[in-house]
Structure 1
Amino acid sequence: MRHDRAVSEIQAGRVGAVSRDGTHRFSKDVTDVITLLTGLGVEGDAHAGTTVQHRSRVAADPTRPNLRQVHLIHSELHEELSQQGFEVGPGQLGENITTEGLDLLELPRGTRLHLGEQAVVEVTGLRNPCAQINAFQPGLLKALTPRDADGNVMRKAGIMSIVLRGGQVRVGDRVGVELPPQPWEALQRV
């Protein structure tokens, strides 16, 4: 993470797609608008709730707070995966919001993203992709978790967040970035 960037140097992005699904399936259905609910997540989405909703996490400890209320992926990842021979579009990796023009993986923990006119989410960490991704497309897990020059796993499957202020989010909405106070904390898996 580049810790020397000032707030003004980070470009605002835009919403490229929004998705939700009321059942625990791998991919989510693309729609025109989603509604974020404060402290819960996406209205009508299976992962909305104050406590963990992902089935593996519920099995481990259903009382833990839900730090994965809203999943965001940058559309540039879809383009990168396409160059590696994968066909991935908005919502197919289970994300609720697909952004454009914003390097989500470089944001520090605690960054607030202003989505549209009202909604605000706070970035909690990186999505930790699981083996289900290989059932979607064989080899995709490896493409989403390559290793850097030092052998450390890089997680590219997007970021997770919690809803601080609800509101509707639509395709084309601006995504404003509000960085937390320094020192910035690099994103870890949640």
Structure 2
Amino acid sequence: MNPATGTIRALLLAQARGTPMRRVPEALAVEQRGFEGDRHFQRALGHKRQLLLLDESSREALQVEVGALKENILIAGLPLDTLPPGQRLALGDTVLVELTEPCVPCWKLDALRPGLLKESWGRRGQLARVLRGGTVREGDTVRLLDINPDAPRVIRPKLP
């Protein structure tokens, strides 16, 4: 596989707070909103957390089930945690997203497994905003595009 491409392995929608993610074969991404049917869709337009993208190798290294880290898109073949804020990605034929910042693990991860918060530091994926909407499907290609030069640079927090 080309190092600048990956594959969507799973698409997931967040339901009510505290409930498992719902896996779907396809999802409708809406510009500046996220996935239709996801609980984060209702946030204010342009919010930095419209989608959470996770690298499949990170999930496997953490030995958690698909959806356990609350990811919306599980991607194989791209080292997402090495990409900078502002990195733009094409999902399938039409959807365009821009990474906003790394996802900081929260205390809830230790409820899944003691120590998971610390283990997942730097491997929890990337938050993204939808720049152009459309339908994405499991199996779609993910391509690296350009980097937004005006994207804010994020200071990565230190492990608590």
* Structure 1 and Structure 2 fold alike (TM over 0.5): yes
Relative to structure 1, the CA distance from residue 48 to residue 183 in structure 2 (aligned partners, 3 Å threshold; closer, same or farther) is: closer
% same residue: 33
TM-score normalised by structure 1 residue count? 0.74
Letter in 2 for 1:90: V
Q: Does 1:75 align with 2:77?
A: no
Letter in 1 for 2:18: R
Hey, what does 1:117 align to over in structure 2?
93
Extract unaligned runs of 5+ from structure 1: 1-8, 53-64, 83-87, 146-154
Cα distance in structure 1, aligned partners of 2:153 and 2:80: 12
Letter in 2 for 1:25: G
Greater strand share, structure number: 2
What is the aligned length?
156
SS at match of 2:60: helix
Hey, what does 1:15 align to over in structure 2?
8
Cα distance in structure 1, aligned partners of 2:124 and 2:155: 12
Cα distance in structure 2, aligned partners of 1:123 and 1:185: 10
TM-score normalised by structure 2 residue count? 0.87
Q: Tell me if the contact between 2:3 and 2:77 (Cα under 8 Å) persists in the aligned partners.
A: no
Relative to structure 1, the CA distance from residue 40 to residue 24 in structure 2 (aligned partners, 3 Å threshold; closer, same or farther) is: same
Hey, what does 2:25 align to over in structure 1?
32
SS at match of 2:41: coil
Extract unaligned runs of 5+ from structure 2: none
Q: Tell me if the contact between 1:70 and 1:162 (Cα under 8 Å) persists in the aligned partners.
A: yes
SS at match of 1:13: strand
How far does residue 49 in structure 1 lie from its aligned partner after superposition?
Answer: 3.6
Q: Tell me if the contact between 1:72 and 1:159 (Cα under 8 Å) persists in the aligned partners.
A: yes
Deviations 1:101-134 (A, max 9, x none): 0000111111111001111111000001100011
Letter in 1 for 2:70: G
SS at match of 1:66: coil
Relative to structure 1, the CA distance from residue 105 to residue 188 in structure 2 (aligned partners, 3 Å threshold; closer, same or farther) is: farther
Hey, what does 2:119 align to over in structure 1?
143
Hey, what does 1:152 align to over in structure 2?
none
Q: Tell me if the contact between 1:127 and 1:189 (Cα under 8 Å) persists in the aligned partners.
A: no
Structure ID, larger Rg: 1
How far does residue 179 in structure 1 lie from its aligned partner after superposition?
Answer: 2.5
Q: Tell me if the contact between 1:23 and 1:45 (Cα under 8 Å) persists in the aligned partners.
A: no
Deviations 1:136-183 (A, max 9, x none): 2221111112xxxxxxxxx21000000001111111100011131669
